[in-house]
Amino acid sequence: MAQDQTAADPDVVKMKAWISQDRVTDSVAKFAPGNGIEKLTLRFDIDELRAALDQVLGLTDYQGDMQDLGFAAIPLTRRPGEEKSSANDLSGRYWLRANDRYVEEPREDFVDEAAFSEFVPIFKDTYFEHVHKELARRFPIGRMRILSKDSYNCNSWHRDPEPRLHIPVVTNPGALFIVNHHVTHLPADGSVYFTDTRGYHSALNGGEHRRVHIVAALPYPEL
């Protein structure tokens, strides 16, 4: 087909408009709120958060049976007096559409988030205890975990029973969070982010360095 015959083709017209648009390269390294991802007014000290992470890593190692795949966790809250976390406690119930059947299926077992009311004693007097107190003063807080994600790693595309708060401690511009149709980077500057993980979501680390977030479940009783 000669080019003059295709000039009115709707895709040719749209393609010209798309090509003439500015490329977006700066804002993707920043936070953009959207449906299901918001930033709180509450803010913590990023230097204190990083110092607390170093303290915790001096006291214990990352846990979890998916560390070879780039997922690692350290629980910061526990059921009162309970010394060991089960594999299910490190993950918990979620749903996903696993394959080309597009049918939603449950994975793992429900965790009673409200039972995780005790801050893990060996981490008392770290800044993370202050963070837990400040969060628990405002919101129902269940499991609070340090979640590490290696370079070139992503979560399944799934939904959880409850929303989560994220506090990035170590990140890079290639670390992104996606809820439904919205994707954004979450800068590690002391900010606290609400992520409505009752919607389909994933997190990915497309950068060259490990990403570490504090993640706290928000088990509102009406959920």
Size of the site for Fe ion (CB under 5 A): 2
DSSP string, 109-133: ----GGG--EE-GGGTTSHHHHHHH
* Distance from C-alpha of 167 to C-alpha of 26, rounded to nearest angstrom: 22
* Distance from C-alpha of 108 to C-alpha of 161, rounded to nearest angstrom: 12
* Distance from C-alpha of 161 to C-alpha of 107, rounded to nearest angstrom: 12
Residue closer to Fe ion by CB (options 145, 185) is 145
Residue closer to Fe ion by CB (options 172, 195) is 195
Cα torsion angle, 195, 198, 200, 205, sign:
positive
Residue closer to Fe ion by CB (options 126, 197) is 197
CB of 55 to Fe ion, least distance (A): 26
CB of 152 to Fe ion, least distance (A): 19
- Specify the stretch interacting with Fe ion by CB under 5 A; choose among 33-41, 166-174, 196-204, 205-213: 196-204
Contact status: 160 vs Fe ion (CB under 5 A): yes
Among 171, 197, 205, 217, binds Fe ion (CB under 5 A): 197
Structure tokens at 108: 């793992």
Name the site residues for Fe ion (rule: CB under 5 A).
160, 197
